[in-house]
Amino acid sequence: MLRPVVARHRLQKVRLDELNKFVPSPPFVPLVCQHHPQIAVRCANRVGKTRHVCFKAANHMVANPGSRWRFVGPNRAQVQDVSGLYLSQFLQPYLHRKCYYLEGKGWNTSTIILRNGSICQLKSYDDRPDTHAGSSFDGVVLDEPPPKPHFAENQARTIDRGGQFILTFTAVNRPVGWMRQIIEEQNWPQIVVPFRREHVPWYSAEKFDAMVDVFRSSPWQWAQRVDADWEGITEGRVYTGFTKQNVVSRYRLGTSRSVSVSTMAPPQAIRRPS
């Protein structure tokens, strides 16, 4: 049986390791290591975008006393259950004594507070956009495509403090054309992370294959969910069994090219990631 002081010390060490032992996936290294006034991180599903951006926020909060972050997720439940959980794992040893996270319940306060005075406000797209107004931050993360009003309210929040405005998303579930236009016209740095074996070394081969099988069940979103594309309609993908009878629409790609869209692409015909 360990004496209490020793036991506490060991526990502390294990917890500290969560932040210190985190190994970023190679394509996320520029996100976690560099300062970007604004950056778009367009990713496949399940490739680690939320965990990496939580690591970045947690690391900055711990290293810079008094820093201010805001994390915005798609809905209140996701913010507590996923990003809230990741933040709690990284921040556990640094929390103010009044602030704690309970699995299944979430955070006891809407703002995470560290002993060093850093804070992270948790919000979601369920909150009205006007509730996103009014404060300045060193970092604002919008996880998953935001509604336009939430984007607008948050974009200006980092300018006063020379902070970072970070979008992490898979381009599904909401129109993203307007966001793409802003990112491309304003020349934002972009990180693109498709679902590839070498990008997710923490999954076993079986888990990786199971994940690919899940993605096969929505082949029309394969491009966004697996290849991290902006849109689901792309050139060069092979559909066996595709005939003229399957064509329901033709989409123009630029001035001289177009692509046919089939409603009947059999899942097994879709190329797997190499």
Chain residue whose CB lies nearest ligand ATP: 48
- Residue linked to tokens 């008094």: 66
Instruction: Establish if 25 lies at the interface with Mg ion (CB under 5 A).
Output: no
Residue nearest to Mg ion (CB): 50
User: Do residues 126 and 101 make contact, with C-beta atoms less than 8 angstroms apart?
Assistant: no
To ligand ATP, the closest distance from the beta carbon of 228 in angstroms equals 10
Decide whether 113 or 193 has the Cβ nearer to ligand ATP.
193
**How many chain residues interact with Mg ion (CB under 5 A)?**
1
Residue ranges binding ligand ATP (CB under 6 A): 23-25, 43, 45-52, 82, 170, 202
Task: Based on the shown chain and the rule CB under 5 A, indicate whether residue 67 belongs to the binding site for Mg ion.
Answer: no
State both tokens at 185.
């016209």
Is residue 224 close enough to count as binding Mg ion by CB under 5 A? no
Residues 160, 136 contacting (CB under 8 angstroms): yes
CA angle 91, 200, 88 (to 5 degrees): 15
Q: Which one among 25, 38, 50, 158 touches Mg ion, defined by CB under 5 A?
A: 50
Count Cβ atoms below 10 Å from residue 36 Cβ, excluding itself.
15
Nearer to Mg ion by C-beta: 34 or 75? Answer: 75
Backbone angles phi, psi at 191, to 5 degrees: -115, 130
Shortest Cβ 132–ligand ATP spacing (Å): 21
- Cα gap 232→220, rounded to integer Å: 6
Q: Tell me whether residue 74 or residue 219 sits nearer to ligand ATP (CB atom).
A: 74
